[in-house]
Amino acid sequence: PVNCQLEQGVPKHQEVFLGMALEQASLLLSRQLKELNKSSVDGFSAGLIDDDDLFKWEIVIYGPPETLFEGGMFKSHLIFPKEYPHRPPKMKFVSEMWHPNIDQEGNVCISILHEPGDDKYGYEKAAERWMPVHTVETICISVISMLADPNDDLRPM
């Protein structure tokens, strides 16, 4: 009989699938980086933390006009899972931030970065959560919008 198990206990067909997913993620991230470097986008800049790792990006968000953040430059990291674009990246501000959607460690809490599917707490619609069509640009635009208009659930309607 043929043994299709790897020494670590992962079936070979899964290893092939994971390799293909990793290659897809790398190609997609490489393409997005080239696009962002080719044509700048207002409100942020993006690049790799380490040129040898496409899965770890440094993002600098420029404080949106007419907000408390105006004139500021806020450094953050965007860390992509190997399953990107099927799973969302994590975003964390390295610069100190005070914002209702950013925790004390700098982690960004925004619907677009939440795992796809229904929200078990019922706060978000599935359409507001992560979808594979999102890009670094759509993430950054959403974060800039969040800085300008926080979702604090404390404001009067």
Residue 73 is predicted with a pLDDT of 98
In a domain, 1, yes or no: no
Q: What is the CATH number of the domain that holds 31?
A: 3.10.110.10
Nearest to 135 by CA among 17, 42, 30: 30
In a domain, 54, yes or no: yes
In a domain, 156, yes or no: no
Range of the domain at 46: 12-148
In total, how many domains does the chain have? 1
Residue 157 is predicted with a pLDDT of 40
Residue stretches of the chain with pLDDT short of 70: 1-20, 152-157
CA 97, CA 110: separation in Å to the nearest integer? 15
In a domain, 45, yes or no: yes
* 109 catalytic per annotation: yes
Residue 28 is predicted with a pLDDT of 96
CB 122 within 8 A of CB 116: no
Predicted structure pTM score: 0.81
Considering 22, 48, 49, 109, which one is annotated as catalytic? 109
What is the amino acid identity at position 34?
Answer: K
Nearest to 144 by CA among 104, 112, 96, 105: 112
Residue 97 is predicted with a pLDDT of 92
